[in-house]
Amino acid sequence: MAVDLRFYRRAGTLDAKDIAGELNGELTGNTVCKATDVASANAPSPGALVFVESGTLPEELGAHAGVIIGTAEALSGAIFHPQAALVAVRHPKAAFALIAQRIIAPRQSAAGQAIHPSAVIAPSASISAGAHIGEGARIGENCHIGPNAVIGAGVDIGDGTRVSACAVIGFAVVGRNCRIGPGSVLGEAGFGLAPGPAGLVELPHFGRVVLGDDVRVGANCTIDRGMFGDTRLGNGVKLDNLCHIAHNVDVGDHTLMAAFAGVSGSVKIGRGAQFGGRVGIVDHVTIGDGVRLAANASPAGDVPPGETWAGQPAQPIRGWLRELAILKRLAAPKGQSAVRDRNGKGEKPGRQPGG
C-alpha cells in the first residue's frame, strides 16, 4: 500500500548502492535499483524500500522490484524478483527507520497560520478562536471545530462532525457525525521501537487513522496511526474517556469501550464487542464479533465470537467465577467456614442460625 500523499511528501530517491554504503550492508541483486517509496513487506508498492527479518518471507515479496533490507539469514536461499536489490544488515528494522525517513516525510503545517489558504472549509462549518487548520485539510458541512483544536495537513473531516477544544487530529480521515472529545489526539506515531547498533531506534509511521460514521471518541483518548496501513474504527464505535488504540488496530462496527481500555498494536476486533473499564489487549490477537470483556480483563490470546471473558489472564467467565469461589473457600480462616441452616443454605461465617 503506497503512502497517502495528502499526509506525506516524497523527500528523495536513494540508490541501492548509497543505501548499502550508509548501512555498511552487503549489496546483492540489482545494484542500480532505486527506492522511491516505502511499504510493508506484506504489501510492497513499486519501487518501495521494505524490510524483512528472520522467518517465512511473505509471498508478495517474491514479485517486488525494489530495495529489500533484511538479515543475511532471511535473504539467503529465497527467490526474489530479478530487478530487486538486497541489502543484508544485522538490524533490518533499525536500518529501515534510518533510510525510510529520507525517502518519505510527513507534511508539516506552516507555523503562524491559523487557517492555511489551501484548506477547504464548508460555508456552514464553524471554526472557533485559536483553532488551526492545516494545508490541504477539508472541513465538511455543519462541522464544528472547537477552541485551540488542531487539524493537521490533509485531514478530512466529514459532514456534521464536532471536534472539541484542544483536540489534535493528524494523518486522519474522519467520517460523518463523529464526536471527538476535548484533549484527544488522533494520528500520532505509534510506540514502535527496534534495537540498533547504538541502542533503540524509533520506527517511523507512514499510515493513517480512519474513522467511520457516527464514531464517538471521549475526552483525552489517543488513537495512533498505522505504521504502514490504517488504524481503523468502524461505524458507530464508541470510546469512553481515556482510552488508547495503538497502531494498525482494526475495530469493528458498533464496538463499545469503557474508560481506560487499552488495545495494543495490530489487534483485530469484531463487530459489536463490549469492553469494560481497564480492559487490556495484547498485540496481534483477534477479538471476535460480539465478545464481552469484563472490567480489568486481559486476554492473552484470541477470544472466540460471542463469548464473555473475565480475569487476568482472561478466560470464559464461568471458569473465572468458579476459580474465585474456590480461592475464597481456600482463603477462609480455619473454623470460619460457612454454617448451614436446616434448609442447607449457607450463612455468613461466624453467624449463628436465628441470630
Domain count, the chain: 2
Where residue 187 falls (left for φ over 0; alpha for ψ -120 to 50; beta otherwise) is left
pLDDT tens per residue, range 18-48: 999 999 999 999 999 999 999 999 888 889 9
CA angle at residue 92 from 87 to 96, to 5 degrees? 85
Any domain includes 309? yes
Q: What is the DSSP string of 208-256?
A: EEEE-TT-EE-TT-EEPPPSSSEEEE-TT-EE-TT-EE-TT-EE-TT-E
Whole-model pTM: value is 0.90
Identify the active-site residue in 64, 91, 144, 247.
247
Q: What is the DSSP string of 66-81?
A: SEEEE-HHHHTT----
pLDDT tens per residue, range 215-264: 999 999 999 999 999 999 999 999 999 999 999 999 999 999 999 999 99
- Contact 276/297 with Cβ under 8 angstroms? yes
Q: What is the pLDDT of residue 345?
A: 53
Identify the DSSP state of 20.
H
Q: What is the pLDDT of residue 170?
A: 97
Any domain includes 329? no
Same-domain check for residues 134 and 239: yes
Q: Is 247 a catalytic residue?
A: yes
- Contact 205/185 with Cβ under 8 angstroms? no
Q: What is the pLDDT of residue 353?
A: 40
Cell 492555511 sits at which residue? 116
Any domain includes 184? yes
Q: Mean pLDDT across the chain, nearest whole number?
A: 92
Q: What is the pLDDT of residue 30?
A: 94
Higher per-residue confidence, 338 vs 166: 166
Any domain includes 223? yes
Average pLDDT over residues 309-330: 92
Any domain includes 32? yes
348 pLDDT more than 80: no
Burial of 84 per CB tally in 10 Å (0-12, 13-18, 19+): buried
The Cα 283–Cα 300 span in angstroms is 9
- Contact 211/231 with Cβ under 8 angstroms? no
Higher per-residue confidence, 330 vs 347: 330
Domain carrying residue 253: 120-316
pLDDT tens per residue, range 43-89: 888 899 999 987 778 888 889 999 999 999 989 878 899 999 999 99
Among 54, 72, 106, residue at a domain's last position: 106
Q: What is the pLDDT of residue 299?
A: 96
Same-domain check for residues 139 and 275: yes
Any domain includes 351? no
- Contact 266/284 with Cβ under 8 angstroms? yes
Among 106, 138, 170, residue at a domain's last position: 106
pLDDT tens per residue, range 256-268: 999 999 999 999 9
Q: What is the pLDDT of residue 333?
A: 85
Any domain includes 24? yes
Alpha-carbon distances, residue 49 vs 7, 133, 171 (angstroms): 19, 32, 21
Q: Return the sign of the alpha-carbon dihedral for residues 253, 40, 201, 300.
A: positive
Any domain includes 336? no
